[in-house]
Amino acid sequence: MRQKIKIRRATPDDANAIEALYRELVSNPTIHVSPQRLEQVARDEHTFLLVADCGGVITGTALLSLCLDVMFGEQTFGVIENVVVSSNARSSGIGAKLMLEIERIATTNQCSKLMLLSTASRTDAHRFFARHGFQDGSKRGFVKYRRDFNLVT
């Protein structure tokens, strides 16, 4: 019998499980998810760190940030980051449930659009996002990392 998947906001107790998921996403030894930061995120009304809870085991996560916009009155737009489903739980509907909850939150908050970036080599993720209605040809994404900032000191 399959465990029921519950999508909920992350709590500080989820820190270790989320960190393990992030380590599946990227190999970076400096990844650190602190319970204190999760508490801060939980209090932010514009940030939603979601987890997929399968009988007490965290098998997926996604972050949605709602950005206040001024172009169209009270609308927001959303940025999705760090969508991860554990490698041993993929193709079980967890990612789809995370995306549906993101869309529910976005609709509730008058969100005009959702945007995300995905590493160019993650073709399986690209197919997943396309199945969920994300288009890759309508806009072009640009990223500048902090190490490349041109700050004058």
Judged against a pLDDT cut of 50, whether residue 1 lies above it is answered with: no
Q: Taking 80 as the threshold, does the pLDDT of residue 111 lie above it? A: yes
Average pLDDT of every residue of the chain? 91
Confidence class of residue 63 from pLDDT cuts 50, 70 and 90?
Answer: very high
pLDDT at 153 over 70: no
pLDDT at 152: 65
Both tokens of 62, joined, read: 């996604």
Q: Which domains does the chain have, with CATH numbers?
A: 5-148 (3.40.630.30)
**Both structure tokens of 130:** 């396309």
* Helices H / strands E in the chain, number of each: 4, 5
Q: Which of 81, 61, 83, 68 is nearest to 9 (CA)?
A: 61
pLDDT number for residue 125: 84
- Beta-bridge partners for 58: 53
